[in-house]
Amino acid sequence: MYPKIQINLNGIIENIKKTKELCEQNGISLAVVTKLLADNKEIVQAIVNSGVDYICDSRIQNLISYKDLNVEKWLIRSPSTEEIPDTVRYADVSLNSEINTIINLNKEAKNQNKIHKVILMYELGDLREGCLRPELEELTGQAMCLSNIELYGLGVNLSCYGEIVPSSENMKELEEVVLELEKKYNIKFKIVSGGNSSSFKMLENKKIPCTINNLRMGEAIYLGNIPCFEEKIEALNQDNFIVKAEIIELKEKPSVPWGECGLSNSFGEHSTFIDRGTRKRAIIGLGKQDVKLDGITPLDEEIIVLGGSSDHIILDVSDCKREYKLGDIIEFMPNYAGVLSCMTSKYVLKEIVR
């Protein structure tokens, strides 16, 4: 059945084991980010069985699905007010930067007779979540006073929004903040989480300060790629996901639409068309509702992706050596956004290959 995303589970597990070994050589624990998998318990169970220390997800609904898995679970997006009861119930740890949220987590933890672990997020320049230095100092003191909150650690996020990459300078800043807070409050953070897959180069080059003892990784593990740098990791598998879709129309057509032109297409976009004359165009049964269009690249390098709509992607196959036929399957290599969208779409079959 098509469209589908084929998942090489053995390749993913091999990447985890190699990455975990590299982390351990640097005194760092590995937290595997599972949000890309969109609640696929079979894959997450295999990840847990591989011996990882922690799994992380941004959606509490996914952690609820994983409630029976024997591993420490982190909610890596700060919970909304309505998510707080489930966060305490199903997440061992949550990442936070707002005192009111932490106070509410403490109240709920009291109600559930539990201790909830919190990692405070420090803003290191990428401008997603995190406190600036003075606020972080105050927040640390406040969190320590809450009876049902364990101040578990300190974390940062890089590369996801502002494209700021890990560097010797910002890692040194993180180290200074950690040491300053530990001295002021006479504490020792169990976790200092210094970033994500974009830290892989520093990890390989042994340039991460010893104060930082954790990394949260997804893209490096699943795709063998370092985000922001867009560099392939030679030691890791890069072909763990392949997107496949069937040709549902194959016809010779002009390359430029004709008739009166409106302001935009169905997605509010204005398109520019190149007149290549009459071309052989293949339409596949996969669309923007299922996949980020610029997140997939045809394995046949002679295919030109012309565009798409909700349910269709239009390809130019005129220059291909292969003589495509109606019903043939086109294969694509997805990037992170391509995998995420396909895994999230209920219309794309997930085929796990071991």
Residues serving a catalytic function are 35
Strands 4-8 and 349-353: parallel
CA 29 to CA 23: how far, in whole Å? 6
Query: Longest C-alpha distance within the chain, in Å?
Result: 74
Q: How far apart are CA 229 and CA 159, in angstroms?
A: 10
SS3 of 144-159? HCCCCEEEEEEEECCC
* Degrees to nearest 5, angle at CA 293 with 36 and 47: 15
Both tokens of 183, joined, read 């001295």
| Distance, CA of 31 to CA of 234 (rounded, Å) | 21
Alpha-carbon torsion (61, 65, 68, 74), positive or negative: negative
Strands annotated E in the chain: 4-8, 29-33, 54-57, 72-75, 93-96, 116-122, 149-156, 191-193, 214-217, 225-226, 231-232, 241-254, 278-284, 296-298, 304-308, 313-316, 329-334, 349-353
Instruction: Strands of 165-227 (E only): list them.
Output: 191-193, 214-217, 225-226
**93-96 vs 278-284, strand pairing mode:** unpaired
* Identity at 53, one-letter amino acid code: D
- Residues forming beta bridges with residue 122, ordered by sequence position: 131, 156
Tell the burial category of 50 from Cβ atoms under 10 Å away from its Cβ (0-12, 13-18, 19+).
middle
